[in-house]
Amino acid sequence: MARKQKKNSDIEKEIKKIVGKRVKVNELVKKHTTFRVGGPVDYLIKVTGVEELRGIVCLLDRNNIGCKIIGMGSNILVKDKGLSGALLKLEGTFDRIQVIGEKVIVGAGVPLPVLIKKCVDYGLQGTEFLSGIPGTVGGAIVMNAGTGKQAIGDLIEEVEIFQQNGKINLLHKKELTFGYRKNNFLKKDIILKTKLSLKKGNKNDILSMIKNNLQKRVQTQPLNFSNAGCIFKNPGKKNRLTAGGLIERAGLKGIKKGKAQISTKHANFIVNLKGAQARDILFLINKIKREVNKMFGIKLRMEIEVWE
Ligand SMILES: Cc1cc2nc3c(=O)[nH]c(=O)nc-3n(C[C@H](O)[C@H](O)[C@H](O)COP(=O)(O)OP(=O)(O)OC[C@H]3O[C@@H](n4cnc5c(N)ncnc54)[C@H](O)[C@@H]3O)c2cc1C
Pair (85, 101) in one structural domain: no
Pair (30, 82) in one structural domain: yes
Q: Give the domain CATH number at 250.
A: 3.90.78.10
Residue whose CA is closest, atom 36 of ligand 1? 139
Is 1 inside any structural domain?
A: no
**Ligand 1 pocket, 147 CB below 6 A?**
yes
What per-residue confidence (pLDDT) applies to 237? 67
Pair (264, 302) in one structural domain: yes
Give the sign of the dihedral formed by CA 27, CA 33, CA 39, CA 45: negative
What residue type is assigned to position 132 of the chain?
A: G
Is 130 inside any structural domain?
A: yes
Say yes or no to pLDDT of 7 above 70. Answer: no
Residues 6+ away with beta carbon under 8 Å from 77: 33, 35, 37, 38, 228, 278, 281, 282, 304, 305, 306, 307
Pair (19, 116) in one structural domain: no
Distance of CA 269 from the midpoint of ligand 1 (Å): 15
Distance of CA 250 from the midpoint of ligand 1 (Å): 27
Q: What is the mean pLDDT of residues 34-56?
A: 98
Pair (150, 73) in one structural domain: no
Is 101 inside any structural domain?
A: yes
Using 50, 70 and 90 to split pLDDT, how confident is the model at 156? very high
Distance of CA 207 from the midpoint of ligand 1 (Å): 23
- Give the structural domain span for 206: 95-218
Among the three residues 75, 90, 105, which one is the final residue of a domain in this structure?
A: 90
What per-residue confidence (pLDDT) applies to 106? 98
Q: What does the alpha-carbon distance between residue 116 and residue 127 come to, in Å, rounded to a whole number?
A: 6
Residue whose CA is closest, atom 6 of ligand 1? 133
Q: Number of structural domains, the chain?
A: 3
Among the three residues 22, 55, 90, which one is the final residue of a domain in this structure?
A: 90
Is 227 inside any structural domain?
A: no
Closest ligand 1 atom to 90 CA: 41
SS (H, E, C) 93-145: HHHCEEEECCEEEEECCCEHHHHHHHHHHCCEECCHHHCCCCCEHHHHHHHCC
Q: What would the pLDDT profile of 90-131 be if each residue is shown by its tens digit?
A: 999 999 999 999 999 999 999 999 999 999 999 999 999 999
Phi, psi torsion values for 18, nearest 5 degrees:
-90, -45
Among the three residues 70, 90, 110, which one is the final residue of a domain in this structure?
A: 90
Is 297 inside any structural domain?
A: yes
Q: Give the domain CATH number at 42.
A: 3.30.43.10
Pair (194, 252) in one structural domain: no
Distance of CA 20 from the midpoint of ligand 1 (Å): 27
Pair (183, 140) in one structural domain: yes
Burial of 250 (0-12, 13-18, 19+ CB in 10 A): buried
Say yes or no to pLDDT of 300 above 80. Answer: yes
**Ligand 1 pocket, 153 CB below 6 A?**
no
Residue whose CA is closest, atom 27 of ligand 1? 139
Residue whose CA is closest, atom 14 of ligand 1? 229
Q: Give the domain CATH number at 185.
A: 3.30.465.10
Distance of CA 62 from the midpoint of ligand 1 (Å): 29
SS (H, E, C) the chain: CCCCCCCCHHHHHHHHHHHCCCEEEEEEHHHHCCCCCCCEEEEEEEECCHHHHHHHHHHHHHCCCCEEECCCCCCEEECCCCEEEEEEEECHHHHCEEEECCEEEEECCCEHHHHHHHHHHCCEECCHHHCCCCCEHHHHHHHCCECCCCEHHHHEEEEEEECCCCCEEEEEHHHCCEECCEECCCCCCEEEEEEEECEECCHHHHHHHHHHHHHHHHHHCCCCCECCCCCECCCECCCCECHHHHHHHCCCCCCEECCEEECCCCCCCEEECCCCCHHHHHHHHHHHHHHHHHHHCCCCCECCEEEC
What per-residue confidence (pLDDT) applies to 1? 54
Which of 74, 137, 182, 217 to mutate for ligand 1's pocket (most ligand atoms within 8 Å of CB)? 74
Distance of CA 141 from the midpoint of ligand 1 (Å): 8
Pair (121, 184) in one structural domain: yes
Pair (140, 207) in one structural domain: yes
Pair (103, 213) in one structural domain: yes
Pair (209, 269) in one structural domain: no
Dihedral Cα 3, 52, 77, 271, nearest 10 deg? 160
Distance of CA 143 from the midpoint of ligand 1 (Å): 6
Q: What would the pLDDT profile of 246-286 be if each residue is shown by its tens digit?
A: 999 999 999 999 999 999 999 999 999 999 999 999 999 99
Residues in the chain: 308
Mean pLDDT for all residues in the chain: 96
> What is the distance between the terminal CA atoms of the chain, rounded to a whole angstrom?
7
Say yes or no to pLDDT of 193 above 90. Answer: yes
